[in-house]
Amino acid sequence: MSSLYNTLQEHKNRKEKRVLTVIKGPHTGAKAFFAEEGLLWQHPENGFFTEQREAAEKIRTSGQQELLGETIFCDCLGDKKKLVICGAGHVGVALLRMALMLGFDTTVLEDRPSFADAARRAGAKRVICDSFQQGLDVVDSDEDTYFVVMSRGHRYDLECLEKIVKKTYAYLGMMGSKGRSALVRKKLLEQGVPREQVEGLHAPIGLTIHAETPEEIAVSILGEIISVKNQEKKTCGFSEEQMAILQDETDTRAKVLCTIVARRGSAPRSVGTKMLVLEDGAVSGTIGGGCVEAGVKEKARWLMQDKEKRQELISVSMTACDAEKEGMVCGGVIEVLLEKC
């Protein structure tokens, strides 16, 4: 199955990436990878997804769906979330630090060398010390990129926005008062930016939590970004570590990929969350921790030893007692797909 992960890597920049797996039915185990261009990989070749290609291509929402008596899990793959911060003042640095905690790939643009150095010290993956216009020229973006504009002045904010609105992005926000935000929107409309795009600008930026300090403002901004991010119908995809292990053909350890394919109640992780279990006890990723995760790991090791099964669908229920122990008072049920890799 390593060819699937190599194919995913090869087409990582494609849009509308999704992996479809038959988890119940006569064709259990059939798997296919689709992107905006259509079917790019399948196993077995010329199998179920060839026969039902037209119908399968229309499945574009993460979760379980029925197709001709087969239950299919659709995993709409999200990419690494990228945050681009235009301005490294006190709020910008606070936002950077919190974004790193949440796993964002961070880029900071700042035209003042001393402020750019502060962003480097705070841990930014990439710092561009140049004019905002030139800096944005070298920033690539996609549907998983989040832009935050918080420069030191109205003129610089407008320069940033004029560049960013020509790019692809998931979110665009600007820090400023209501009056400043209205003025910027007016300027963008005068420059011919589509009204729908201008209305999509998050300005003033952030959730209304009456934030005062740089850290509180950063929390409000990230809260808004998280809200936008989690409205997407994409899963978190594979981590970089998981992809490296799955593509390494010299790694002969038995492996089982554990993916949450359904969730009911207050289970801690969302559909599409993945954990890779290896025969030597190593684990990459988490599906929530605690006794539930421990039970899934044990099932995964049993599957490794089964010479006939390639995959197994299990249901893990948290009783009220178990849920309370795990800090989940309401309990919950998850379905986990175990697949040999």
- Residue 120 is assigned to a structural domain of this protein: yes
Identify the domain boundary among 20, 48, 76.
Answer: 76
CA distance 192 to 229: 27
CATH number at residue 89: 3.40.50.720
pLDDT at position 312 over 70: yes
CA distance 109 to 119: 9
Res 320: pLDDT: 43
Token output for 221: 């901004």
Antiparallel, parallel or unpaired: β 311-318 and 332-340 = antiparallel
Res 328: pLDDT: 47
Please tell me whether residues 89 and 219 are part of one structural domain.
Answer: yes
Please indicate whether residue 45 or residue 277 has the higher confidence score (pLDDT).
Answer: 277
Res 304: pLDDT: 96
- Residue 235 is assigned to a structural domain of this protein: no
Please tell me whether residues 160 and 214 are part of one structural domain.
Answer: yes
Please tell me whether residues 157 and 46 are part of one structural domain.
Answer: no
Rounded to two decimals, what is the model's pTM? Answer: 0.77
Identify the domain boundary among 229, 256, 283.
Answer: 229
Q: What mean pLDDT is predicted for residues 226-251?
A: 87
State how many domains the chain has: 3
Average pLDDT, the chain: 91
- Residue 197 is assigned to a structural domain of this protein: yes
Res 322: pLDDT: 53
230 pLDDT band (50/70/90 cuts)? confident
- Distance spanning both ends of the chain, measured CA to CA: 6
pLDDT at position 324 over 70: no
* Adjacent-strand bridge partners of 213: none
Give me the domain span that covers residue 134: 82-229
Please tell me whether residues 70 and 87 are part of one structural domain.
Answer: no
Please tell me whether residues 190 and 327 are part of one structural domain.
Answer: no
Res 237: pLDDT: 84
Res 196: pLDDT: 92
Q: What mean pLDDT is predicted for residues 49-78?
A: 93
Closest CA to 91 of 174, 165, 160: 174
Res 325: pLDDT: 52
Lowest-pLDDT choice from 24-28, 36-40, 168-172, 287-291:
287-291
Please tell me whether residues 148 and 196 are part of one structural domain.
Answer: yes
- Residue 234 is assigned to a structural domain of this protein: no
Identify the domain boundary among 170, 197, 229.
Answer: 229
pLDDT at position 326 over 60: no
296 pLDDT band (50/70/90 cuts)? very high
Please tell me whether residues 118 and 204 are part of one structural domain.
Answer: yes
Q: What mean pLDDT is predicted for residues 326-331?
A: 51
131 DSSP assignment: -
Lowest-pLDDT choice from 1-15, 157-171, 244-258:
1-15
Please tell me whether residues 336 and 281 are part of one structural domain.
Answer: yes
pLDDT tens, position by position, 131-167: 999 999 999 999 899 999 999 888 899 999 999 999 9
